[in-house]
A and B are shown apart, each in its own frame.
Chain A
Amino acid sequence: MGILGGDGFSLPIVANNPIIPASITVTDSALAQMKKTLENEESTHCLIISAQSGGCSGYVYDMKIDENPKDNIEFQILLFDDIRIYIHNSDSYLLNGIELDYKDSLMGGGFNIANPNASRECGCGQSFG
C-alpha cells in the first residue's frame, strides 16, 4: 500500500474554475474568414476556443475547428450568423470578453485574440495572464 492508499484515505479534489456566461466579440474580418474556412460545413463543424496553462504569461489560447462535440452539455455555444463558436464552461472565466480578429497579412497575419481581462500578454499574442 502506497502513501496515497489505504482505507479511508481520500483527498479533496480542488474545485474547477467558476462558470460564467461567456460573451465574446467577433470582428467582421474574423467572421468572414471563419465562413470561408467552414464553407458547407457550418452545420457539422464549429470553432472551439480554449485556454490552458503555458506560455510566457501563464496561459495560452487554443483554437481548433472540429466536428460539433457530441457531448456538448458543458459547452457554451455562441452563434455568429451560421457559425458556432464553442467555449467550454471551464474556460468561460478566462475567455469572457475576448475579441476575435483576423488580419489578412503575410507577416503576423491570421486569427488574433485580444483579451481585455488579461493583465499581461506575450509579444507573440498567444499567451496571456
Chain B
Amino acid sequence: MIVDGNLSEINYHIRENNFTILQGNNPLGFLNRIITNTIQNNSDRNLNLTLLCGASGRIEDFLEVIFSDGKLIVMGINTNGDNNRQKLVQGKNWNEKINIMDGDEALTFLTIFGEEVNDIANSFNLEKSLDESKAWIESESKLICYNNTNPPSIDLIIQTDSLSFFLESGIESALKKSSINTWNKFCIDNSILQCDDLMSSPLPFECGLGHLIDSNKGCYPGQEIHARIESRGKHTKFIAKFVANSHLHTGKYRSEDGKKIMITTISIIGDKSYGFAILPTHFQDNNEISIIDKKPTTLYLESF
C-alpha cells in the first residue's frame, strides 16, 4: 500500500522507453521470429508483451507491441533502442518489404498517476472507453491507456513535439512532475519493471517475466537456454519486493550467509526503504532475510 504523501497528488513521469516502428508487409510475422512468444493483434495490453533475448537466454529488452494504423510500435524499456533496431535490420530477409524506423526522438511515453487522476483526465479531454481499461485508445495523435494501478494511472504516448504544450496545460490542472523516488515507489507497488531492473541482464525467470516465454513456440534467440532451464528446473534466482527499516541503495549486498542479493530499484520513504531485489532461490520460502549493511538490516519480502 502506498503511504507516501506525494502520491496523493497527481504526478507525471516521463519514461525513458525506446520506440521502434515497423511498417510494411507483415511486420508482425517479422517481429515474431525473434521474440519469446507469439504476438497477435490483441486489445489487451498484457497479451502484447514480449521479450527480446540474446542467444544466452538473457533479456535484452522487455517489449510492448502496439498496433497503430497498420504499423507496429515496438516499445522497449531499455534506454538504448539501437540494439533492438540493429537486430531487426540485420534479420530482415532480402525480399521482405519492411521499413524499420527510429521513434526514440519523435515519441514520448509518460505516466500520470494519483488518486484523482480521472479528474485530470477530464480536464485534458482524454477519451475513456468504459470497458477498455487494459487497451490503448488512439485519440487526437495520442495513445491513452487507463490502468487499474494503486493509485490509478494513465499511460500516454504522445508526439514529443506536443509534450511541452501538453504539460503546460497540465500544470494549470495541478499536474506535478514526479520525483524519481515517488515514481519508483509507484513502480514497486505495482510491479512495474524499469530499465535498471534489467541492468544485470537477468534470465526471464529471474525477474518475474517467465510467463512471456512460450515453450511451444519453437526456435527464437535464447530458446535453447530457456528450454533447458525449464526442463531441468534450474531456476537460480527470483525477484521480490521488499521493505526494510533502514536506508538502502541499489546495487549488490550479501545476506548473512554470504549469498549475493541485487537491489535493482529503491524508494526511500521516511525511515523505510522499498524496493525490488533479485535473490537466490535459496530464499524463495523466506518472509525475511538478514543482509550485511552498515548495521544489521532485514529485508521483509513480498511476492512480485
User: Is residue A11 within 8 Å, beta carbon to beta carbon, of the partner chain?
Assistant: yes
A15 and B89 within 8 A (CB): yes
Contacts A54-B34, A55-B219 known; 6 new A-B pairs at CB < 8 A: A11-B21, A11-B103, A13-B102, A56-B55, A56-B221, A58-B91
B127 to chain A, nearest CB (A): 13
User: Is residue B92 within 8 Å, beta carbon to beta carbon, of the partner chain?
Assistant: yes
B220 and A54 within 8 A (CB): yes
Q: What is the bound-complex CA distance between A95 and B117, given in angstroms?
A: 54
Residues of A in contact, count (CB < 8 Å): 37
Name the residue on A nearest B32 (C-beta). Answer: A54
Q: What is the bound-complex CA distance between A120 and B73, given in angstroms?
A: 30
Name the residue on A nearest B100 (C-beta). Answer: A14
A18 to chain B, nearest CB (A): 10
Fill in one digit per residue for A9-36: 1 if any B CB lies within 8 Å of its CB, else 0.
1011111110000000000000000000
Which of B135-143, B178-186, B249-257, B268-276 contacts the other chain? B135-143
Can you give 6 A-B contacts (C-beta < 8 A)?
Answer: A3-B157, A9-B106, A14-B86, A14-B102, A52-B96, A122-B224
A2 and B103 within 8 A (CB): no
A53 and B87 within 8 A (CB): yes
User: Is residue B93 within 8 Å, beta carbon to beta carbon, of the partner chain?
Assistant: yes
Contact flag A4-B21 (CB < 8 Å), given A54-B33, A90-B94? yes
Q: Which residues of B contact A (CB under 8 A)?
A: 20-21, 30, 33-34, 54-55, 68-69, 71, 73, 85-94, 96, 99-103, 106-107, 138, 140-143, 157-159, 161, 219-224
Contact flag A3-B102 (CB < 8 Å), given A16-B89, A17-B90, A56-B223? no
Fill in one digit per residue for A75-104: 1 if any B CB lies within 8 Å of its CB, else 0.
000000000000010110110000000000
B69 and A58 within 8 A (CB): no
A52 and B106 within 8 A (CB): no
A117 to chain B, nearest CB (A): 13
Among B30, B54, B93, max chain A CB count under 10 A is at B93
